[in-house]
Amino acid sequence: MKSSLVAFSLLLAVPSLAAPPAEKPGAQVVLKHVEEPRWALAIHGGAGVIDKSMEESKKQAYFKALGDALTLGKETLAKGGTALETVEKIVRFLEDDPKFNAGKGAVFTHDGTHELDAAIMDGSTLACGSVAGLKTVKNPISLARLVMEKSGHVFLAGEGAERFADEMKVERATPDYFFVQERWDQLQKALKDESAGVVPKKFGTVGAVALDTHGHLAAATSTGGLTNKKWGRIGDVPVIGAGTYANDKTCAVSSTGVGEQFIRHTVARTISARMEFGGLSLEEAAKRTIAELEPGDGGVIAVGADGSIALVFNSAGMFRGAADSSGRFEVRIWE
């Protein structure tokens, strides 16, 4: 019987630390393929009836803002930054942009003031922080993170949240910082529409969700709420499990839309639960959950623990973007 040569497969777990051994006659050296670290990212800037006939310059300004925010997140994750760091950076960036209803661009309440809400969640620990009814905090998302890390609590609102901001020495802003003429004009129109029974169909929020190269997820959301809102109304954004949720077992979710509906349906947590207990994919879980809302209620962005991305909405449009380590990079408003 003819003898056969034996092929040796040498798997080198850390090839950079040791050179492969010299080949024996007739032997085959197989190096284990090590994939690049995976990361994924999605962002949004609100949903609702977004006019397709808007001026081209305005449309391009939105695309640029979304693209810049996405690039900021992409660069942070590609360098090994954490998901938590990334989503806070992105949301701060969008809070500083008056085109979006958060931070500087926050809409006016019925009384002509501003009340800002935000939330952030770390999927690796389920730690989370929320703030609501802020009037002087320049970047609510950063105060939400401080609530998570420094307060011993999860949710602070109104005067108490402002006092906590004093203790944390976060950057503050006067009412004129938040004044944007377009937002003031929107309030005047909303006051007129209110008397005619017209319901607003554009819902402004900003949010980001991310999976980092360490395998952790995080979500962050911030908003100025609804134009013409009354009585200290709070929507879904700072409600953990409704507008914001992250769990390393499943996904990270940020919502935008009719806050009351997203609270009633605990949208963000429901998507996660359908994945964890029902075995659904991220896309399936998001689509099924949004399908249970009324048409036009809004949408979600979500990133799964496997790097999958879902951008699902039932409104006419949603300002959104997505990027990942495979090379995906896109920003969209409508289709």
How far is Cα 58 from Cα 100, in angstroms, rounded to an integer? 12
Please indicate, yes or no, whether the overall pTM of this predicted structure exceeds 0.75. yes
pLDDT for the residue 16: 36
* Strand boundaries in 78-173, DSSP class E: 116-122, 127-134, 155-157
Give the Cα separation of 57 and 258 in Å (integer). Answer: 28
Structure tokens, 206: 């900003």
Q: Per the domain annotation, does 7 fall within a domain? A: no
How many domains does the chain divide into? 1
63: containing domain: 40-332
Please state the three-class secondary structure of 167-202 as a single string: HHCCCECCHHHHCCHHHHHHHHHHHHHHHHCCCCCE
Residue 19 lies inside a defined structural domain of this protein: no
As annotated, the active-site residues are 205
Taking CB atoms within 8 Å and a gap of at least 24, the contacts of 226-229 are 226/107, 226/200, 226/259, 227/107, 227/108, 227/183, 227/186, 227/187, 227/190, 227/200, 228/108, 228/109, 228/110, 228/187, 228/190, 228/191, 228/194, 228/200, 229/109, 229/110, 229/115
Say what the pLDDT of residue 13 is.
Answer: 36
Structure-token match 């996660």, residue found? 272
Position 34 scores a pLDDT of 45
Residue 11 lies in a domain: no
Q: Whose CA is closest to 42, among 104, 79, 90, 92?
A: 90
Tell me, yes or no, whether 24 lies in a domain: no
Written as six digits, the tokens of 195 are: 């008397």
Residue 302 resides in a domain? yes
Q: List all residues 6 or more positions away from 16 whose beta carbon is below 8 Å from its beta carbon.
A: none
Low-confidence ranges of the chain (pLDDT < 70): 1-37, 199-202
Which tens digit of pLDDT belongs to each residue from 275-334? 999 999 999 999 999 999 999 999 999 999 999 999 999 999 999 999 999 999 999 999
Q: What's the confidence (pLDDT) of residue 204?
A: 85
Task: Say which residues have a Cβ less than 8 Å from residue 144's Cβ, sequence separation at least 6.
Answer: 118, 119, 120, 129, 130, 131, 220, 222, 238
> Please, which residues bridge with residue 255 across strands?
300
Distances (CA, A) of 266 to 42, 217, 289, 314: 20, 19, 9, 17
Q: Is residue 23 part of a domain?
A: no
Examine residue 196 and state whether it is found in any structural domain, yes or no. yes
Which structure tokens are listed for 334? 């409508």
pLDDT of residue 107: 95
Look at residue 33 and tell me if it is in a domain.
no
Quickly count: other Cβ atoms within 10 Å of residue 116's Cβ: 29
Other CB atoms within a 10 A radius of the CB of residue 148 amount to 21
**pLDDT of 230:** 95
Look up the CATH number of the domain holding residue 150: 3.60.20.30
Q: What is the pLDDT of residue 18?
A: 38
Cβ atoms of 89 and 103 within 8 Å: the answer is no
Question: DSSP 3-state assignment of 244?
Answer: strand
